[in-house]
Amino acid sequence: MTGDRPSDRPGDRPSGIQRRGLLGAGAAGALGGAAAGASLVPGWGPGRGAAAEAAARSEPAAPIPFHGVHQPGVTREVVASAAYVACDVTTTRRRDLAGLLRTLTDRSRFLCTGGRPPDVGITSPPSDSGVLGPELPADGLTVTVSVGASLFDDRFGLARRRPRRLTTMGTFPDDDLDPDLCHGDLMLMIAAPHPDTVLHALRDLLRHTRGALQPRWRVDAFGSPPRPSGTPRNLMGFMDGTANPGPEELDRLVWVGVGEPAWTAGGSYQVVRVIRMFVEFWDRVGLNEQERMIGRRRDTGAPFSGSVETDVPDYSNDPVGATTPLDAHIRMANPRTPATDGSRMLRRAYNYDRGLDANGDLDMGLVFTAYQSDLQRAFVTVQKRLAGEPLVDYISPIGGGYFFALPGVQDPSDWYGQRLLAGVT
């Protein structure tokens, strides 16, 4: 790194102790209140204004086919609005768990397909909230259902059917995790081009599963469109998700295979990480230093050894980091060697904005989501490589968890987790 690092200039960024103090005094307290019981927090999500109003007036998107070997939400590109809702299963009976998963399937299928809610008469509560009008548009909605390691405890007799590599997310050296923003029996990841579609689906799903499913924590998120082109940007201004595996690589890198229980075929390990970004300190760092920490140009997304975003970084001719620093984020995350090729993941980056923390600092960041066929080989290995990178002074993972994205619902007679529960007594 250059001698002009922000740490060399007094006042440009806080020390590690000060930064952790900021998070502990402000973010942790505010997040704890929001996460417990999944209460709604003003300012958590995309802001309102002319752009949001324009989006609300736009035409609903076409439906995304619900049935298939894989859940469609796993591979879909980042869209404008999303909600991550981690839940605890409150029933302890297997038949109630099966009923819960059937209900989630039926409601998700209807919401993702669209249609008119049934008329239940004027004396009963309406069958729908009415947020989207009398006829529900599918609006490109996807609901991705994943399960956590805690679902495989002794409540339902599923211990022997736990995906082989599914564990509870641990704490890495640079983490500052809030327990109220971590883990869960089940994760709902709801995404659509419009925020009212996402919120409508969330209300519907929780309404129909009340008594068996209790929200544990929630993050509302949003995706940015390509500006001006290429991969969408995160709130640090850099493109996030470049060099994802192509469709031809998904069987090898994303979908689980040999060594897993038979019921898992078509599923994938899901990592969700809520990462706060200290954007006010980041914005005071010189552009050259920002780019050297990331390893790419901010304007084009190109690696230093290339000219466009899609160029492959060339590290073979840069053994000492003269072009791309050895501790640049992209170089540490993906050294691009045959030995590290298997640690690649399908990454999806959503932004969040929670307004202000208790200290009056901007509380915003990234909901990092990744899918892989092997947690240890991919995410855990990459995270260990990234320990101590220069970027850790400007980010802090504060929540999330490991989950297993269930196989897809293959036809109208199938339901989420049917093969998981088949034959369990």
Q: Give the pLDDT confidence of 309-332 residue by residue, as tens digits.
A: 999 999 999 999 999 999 999 999
Burial class (CB in 10 A: 0-12, 13-18, 19+), 10: exposed
What secondary structure letter does DSSP report for 275?
A: E
Res 21: pLDDT: 41
Structure-block tokens of residue 321: 């980091």
Q: What average pLDDT values come out for the chain (425 residues) when binned by 10 residues? A: 40 40 39 36 42 64 97 97 98 96 98 94 90 96 98 96 98 96 98 98 97 97 94 97 95 95 98 98 98 98 97 95 97 96 96 95 98 98 97 98 98 97 78
Q: How many distinct helices (H) and strands (E) make up the chain?
A: 12, 8
Distance from C-alpha of 273 to C-alpha of 380, rounded to nearest angstrom: 12
Residue with tokens 């599914």: 166
Res 32: pLDDT: 38
Res 156: pLDDT: 96
Res 300: pLDDT: 97
Residues in the chain: 425
Residues 165-202 have pLDDT tens digits of 999 999 999 999 999 999 999 999 999 999 999 999 99
- The DSSP-derived string for 3-64 is TT-GGGSTTSS--HHHHHHHIIIIIHHHHHHHHGGG---TT-SSPPSHHHHHHHHSPPPPPP
Rounded to the nearest 10 degrees, the angle between the axes of helix 195-208 and helix 50-57 is 70
Distance from C-alpha of 345 to C-alpha of 50, rounded to nearest angstrom: 36
Cβ atoms within 10 Å of 135's Cβ, excluding its own: 9
User: 77: number of CA atoms within 13 Å, CB side?
Assistant: 12
Res 231: pLDDT: 95
